[in-house]
Amino acid sequence: MRLAILGLAVCSSVCLAEPEVEQSVPAPEQKAEDKSAPLDAKIPEWHLQFEPSAWYAGISGRVRIAGAPASSGQVAINDLHLDNPRLTPAGDLHVRTGKWRFTLTTFFFEQSRLQTMDVGGQLGTVNFVPGNQVYSKMQQNEFQPVVGYEFWRRDPEASDAVKFLGRLEVFGGARLDDLQFNFNQGAAASEQSEFFGQAIAGVKGTMDIGEQFSIDLETSAGGWPGSTDYAWSWDITVGFMWRPITNVGVQIGYRNLVNHFHRGSDSDQFAYDGGIAGLFFGAVVRF
């Protein structure tokens, strides 16, 4: 009897006891995912880059073609009014693998003019005096294959506020020019076509700023020695690129190319000492 009473007392005390409240522990706050690229991330390399462009270029200098007496001098391009600038199709194709770069650069220039002459002279068998109308046409098509090697490089660093990639390259190759001049005055006509090849060497510097902007500066010189047949040239180009899309962009720049071409002697001499220069603009596509 006493055991039964004691058991009832223990059960009642357990049942009447206030249940212990379980305290909930707050879940740890999740940090937002950081999707920004680290500053020391390398700018992605490209392997193929195509740059179709239009070159608003004009020519200058002096010209002489075969057929004129040996005593005849050269005629100034601006006297023929061939120096007016015009849009010229041009382009570059670059292939990069490691430190090596293979590039083909080209342009196709053509200019013509019917001009009432202010001076006299002779071009081939075409004689003219002030007041004569002379039709002149000049074409220059150039192909420039080169191979470049990167000898200095500066990759982006963690301390950069803006990612910056710089490189310097040396390159060598050839400059191939196909030239043609045509002149007409009345029934007289004269023309000459010549092809010149040169070995060239140069330096190119490139600076990529962030993911969107690039600046290129390139200069080269070349020549082919000879006593009566020779050629030499000097070229400088600066370009600015903006890529709003990773692999597609636009560019604008300036190119100045100076040429000296000579072939033959006396009455068979061909000579064109001049240059072509102007602004260019176009697209940039990378793969």
pTM summary value:
0.83
Residue 128 lies in a domain: yes
Residue 228 lies in a domain: yes
Say how far apart CA 244 and CA 275 lie, in whole Å. Answer: 34
What is the structure's pLDDT at 30?
A: 56
What is the structure's pLDDT at 21?
A: 45
What is the structure's pLDDT at 211?
A: 80
Q: Which residue has the higher pLDDT, 150 or 32?
A: 150
CB of 218 closer than 8 Å to CB of 201? no
Within 8 A by CB and 6+ apart from 104, the residues are: 92, 93, 143, 144, 145
pLDDT band at 164 (very low <50, low <70, confident <90, very high): confident
pLDDT tens-digit readout, 209-218? 988 999 999 9
What's the structural domain count of the chain? 1
Counting Cβ atoms within 10 Å, is residue 76 exposed (0-12), middle (13-18) or buried (19+)?
middle
Residue 266 lies in a domain: yes
Residue 13 lies in a domain: no
Quote the tokens at residue 18: 């206030």
Residue 6 lies in a domain: no
User: Mean pLDDT throughout 24-33?
Assistant: 53
Quote the domain boundaries for residue 68: 48-286
Residue 209 lies in a domain: yes
pLDDT band at 106 (very low <50, low <70, confident <90, very high): very high
Average pLDDT over the chain, rounded to an integer: 88
pLDDT band at 17 (very low <50, low <70, confident <90, very high): very low
Residue 225 lies in a domain: yes
Residue 259 lies in a domain: yes
- CATH assignment at residue 129: 2.40.128.90
Q: Which residue has the higher pLDDT, 32 or 98?
A: 98
Percentage of residues in the chain having pLDDT higher than 90 = 78
